[in-house]
Amino acid sequence: MKTLMACTALATLSIAPALQAELASDLQDGITPLMTEAKWTGAERQRALTILHLAMFDAANATQGVYTPYAYDGAIDTTASTEAAVAQAALSVMEALLPAHVKELEAQMAAHLASASDQASLQAGRRIGAEAAAAVLAVRAEDGADFSLDYTPGAPEAGIYQPTSERAMVAPKIKDMTPFVLSSATQFRVPPPPALESAQYQQGLLEVVTRGGKDSPASAEDIEIAKLHAGSGSGAWNQLARSSARACALPLLEETRMLALLNVALSDALVAGFNAKYSYALWRPQTAVEALGKTYNHPDLEPGLVWESRIPAPMHPEYPCQHCTSGSAALEVMTSVFGSAPFPIRFEGAANISKSYDSLQQFAEEESESRLIGGVHYRRSNAVGDMLGYQIGHHVAATALQPLSAEAAAPRTCAGFDSTMVSQ
């Protein structure tokens, strides 16, 4: 049974209800496993998803002309099939980025377009999709993306980040990639982390040690929260975006725009967050504990303390919290599309744990807190990451892919919210 609710989204002037919804989400569902099979790093997947969804948006928009495009500057053709344009844009992007899987990608597109009957409209859509993909790929061809993992840590001095395991470092070069919408990685520069001798840092470390250790007292709920959010924040928010788009029955153009804005925000949050991380290079709590009585002294923690974070620390510097940066950016963008009214969501997380939430805001707040419970971040890093993400998300939502008329920007109400779709 459907639960009807007001789920606000941006209106369009020329979208017909019959247009296929969920196509962009379905295409993401089909393509992301191929990226995983290719053993792409998380940063490589995120860049590719952003290019993919910008191309799908530009293609859909080129059949209706409602929003400012990202890269496509061709003519609007309202006779073209929006579905064909979106599917072809996805195929063309992934043929360029993942050529080894062309056959699988072509089969996916054929399946999505199998019911098309108007061949002229279909071919026009495919032409637009190919052109939109080429335009976005051209804009990003010289963006400085470097997914190599080489990293030389600083001297093992107090406060300086040191790897916490033998695992590979995460995206040490992504900090230099040109953002998609931000003017630079430092457009919203965060302040330096607190000094090690400051009360703020000392209290922050004590809180992490007390709450986030593997053997620290914790409720079963807290332990579950730490494990649930231990995976990729970007992957989590794309999962929530797909299920929200389906449950809210977003028309195709709106779906492509939402996923494009989301992934732009996630990519730019990654660049900005990692630029700050690798610039400030602050050590993880685990390293600070290991340094007690050697290179660092704390008024309330004894040298020789045996301590391990509840979840493994990610392999990159601590400050600011990237889950927080990405989550706050994602929340701001999705709120600009779906509105701020609560609606139920369900998240399928790490360690085969799933959980329901009353709102995206509730999920974002728990995601941020999970990094402290997990013992991998200080509270100050969470707060700074939250603020950085908010600034990025607000900027992306306010400046990118904007409506061309005031009428197109008027809020509308979703046709219906299907609560059975929130976990799909």
Tell me how far apart the alpha carbons of residues 2 and 418 are, in angstroms, rounded to a whole number: 5
pLDDT of residue 7: 45
Beta-bridge partner residues of 412: 9
Tell me, yes or no, whether 168 lies in a domain.
no
Tell me how far apart the alpha carbons of residues 129 and 143 are, in angstroms, rounded to a whole number: 22
Beta carbons of 200 and 380 less than 8 angstroms apart: yes
- Tens of pLDDT, residue by residue over 330-347, are 999 999 999 988 889 999
pLDDT of residue 139: 98
The torsion region of residue 232 among left (phi > 0), alpha (psi -120 to 50) and beta comes to: beta
pLDDT of residue 421: 56
Nearest to 357 by CA among 218, 188, 226, 244: 244
CB neighbours of 348 closer than 8 A, spacing ≥ 6? Answer: 239, 354, 423
| Range in 126-135, 168-177, 301-310, 333-342 the model is least confident about | 333-342
Is the Cα dihedral 273, 274, 276, 281 positive or negative?
positive
Tell me how far apart the alpha carbons of residues 255 and 218 are, in angstroms, rounded to a whole number: 40
CATH number at residue 380: 1.10.606.20
Tell me, yes or no, whether 262 lies in a domain.
yes
pLDDT of residue 16: 32
- Tens of pLDDT, residue by residue over 366-395, are 999 999 999 999 999 999 999 999 999 999
Tell me, yes or no, whether 259 lies in a domain.
yes
pLDDT band at 58 (very low <50, low <70, confident <90, very high): very high
- Tens of pLDDT, residue by residue over 5-37, are 334 332 222 223 334 458 999 999 999 999 999
| Range in 66-70, 80-84, 165-169, 406-410 the model is least confident about | 406-410
Tell me, yes or no, whether 331 lies in a domain.
yes
The stretch 228-239 carries a mean pLDDT of 92
**Segments forming the whole domain that contains residue 342:** 8-145+174-421
- Global pTM value: 0.92
pLDDT band at 351 (very low <50, low <70, confident <90, very high): confident
Indicate whether 416 pLDDT > 60.
Answer: no
Q: Looking up tokens 């335009």, which residue turns up? A: 135
Tell me how far apart the alpha carbons of residues 179 and 143 are, in angstroms, rounded to a whole number: 8
Beta carbons of 14 and 77 less than 8 angstroms apart: no
Tell me how far apart the alpha carbons of residues 7 and 317 are, in angstroms, rounded to a whole number: 38
**1 or 137, which is more confident:** 137
Tell me, yes or no, whether 212 lies in a domain.
yes
Chain mean pLDDT for the chain: 91
pLDDT band at 55 (very low <50, low <70, confident <90, very high): very high
Tell me, yes or no, whether 342 lies in a domain.
yes
Tell me, yes or no, whether 101 lies in a domain.
yes
Q: Per the structure, how many domains does the chain have?
A: 1
pLDDT band at 78 (very low <50, low <70, confident <90, very high): very high
- Tens of pLDDT, residue by residue over 250-281, are 999 999 999 999 999 999 999 999 999 999 99
Tell me, yes or no, whether 411 lies in a domain.
yes
